[in-house]
Copies of this chain bind each other. A is one copy, B any other.
């Protein structure tokens, strides 16, 4: 660990003034080295008070993705314990897949201040400007069949929903399968990708993009997109949101939540698609009906005009009243 990180840890653990002498002795470095590290931390945005004869005290920490900030107080066992942080990257999902091929462990986290080629579902792009959002991916190496991946992605959706609710009090809802919306506009998209044999997962990458502190959106998505900041009226510390998502997601994964009726109850309560008119595509043709339930496999159950029910697994489902969608 670098001097800087060690000093940060000491100040964080202590909470009060720690003298330069004490730091110098504990870390076996010179007083000058302590002073240099403190200045370097200040340049990174850490508020560090200094007082003659008392030493240094940590004030506020920057809302910045670094392994030190992410791990500080993170109560997970494996999710996010191994964090890769980037100022800018093409796509955290792509980076996660590359690192997975060279052996990154289960639970690895990839997070960037900015994505230059952020991806949405079905090959679409995802706007990921610097500094405003949470653009991250987690790598899972679960021993599950490829079919179960669609449930994993629902767990991630509920984890984000829970985190946004608990940190902001906003009435965040899930548009099946895993978009998070507030007031009918999207704050979060989730892109799950897997690398698998026909009957064995090698790894799953769950990409989570949350509009956190954006104050405006490009014209072409203004009707559909919003941010936690716009909806709650306050800036949210992005690192805190990330930590809460990691904790919630790990909890759901460890519980095998999908085999517990309580999970489905909570998911359905949050799922804004249910009871609404929805449209989807079947063999190239548009079909409409009413979303009535979610199956234990994570499929959306849609009741058609003629009363028959269809389990929808894949592709695009539009929901009346969400993102201004009209379903005829």
> Which of A's residues lie within 8 Å of B, judged by CB?
94, 97-98, 101, 121-123, 145-146, 149-150, 153, 177, 191-200, 202, 313-315
Contacts and interface: CB of A to CB of B under 8 A. Distances in A.
Nearest to A98: B101
Nearest to A200: B122
Contact of A198 (B94, B101, B192): B192
B194 A122 contact: no
A194 B149 CA distance: 13
Contacts of A101: 94, 97-98, 101
Contacts of A153: 198
A314 B199 contact: yes
A7 B202 CA distance: 45
A233 B198 CA distance: 35
Contacts of A94: 101
Main secondary structure of the interface of A (DSSP, over half): mixed
Given A97-B101, A149-B198, 8 more contacts: A94-B101, A98-B98, A122-B199, A122-B200, A146-B146, A150-B198, A177-B198, A198-B314
A194 B153 CA distance: 18
A123 B200 contact: yes
B199 A193 contact: no
Given A94-B101, A98-B101, A145-B314, A195 B195 contact: yes
B193 A121 contact: no
Can you tell how many copies of this chain the complex includes?
A: 2
Contacts of A200: 121-123, 314
Nearest to A205: B195
A65 to B, nearest CB: 23
Contact of A196 (B98, B196, B315): B196
Contacts of A193: 195-197, 202
A195 B149 CA distance: 12
B313 A199 contact: yes
A170 B96 CA distance: 45
B202 A197 contact: no
10 contacts: A97-B101, A101-B101, A122-B199, A146-B146, A149-B198, A150-B198, A193-B197, A194-B197, A195-B195, A200-B314
A197 B97 contact: no
A201 B65 CA distance: 31
Contacts of A313: 199
Contacts of A197: 121-122, 191-194
A318 to B, nearest CB: 15
Contacts of A196: 193-194, 196
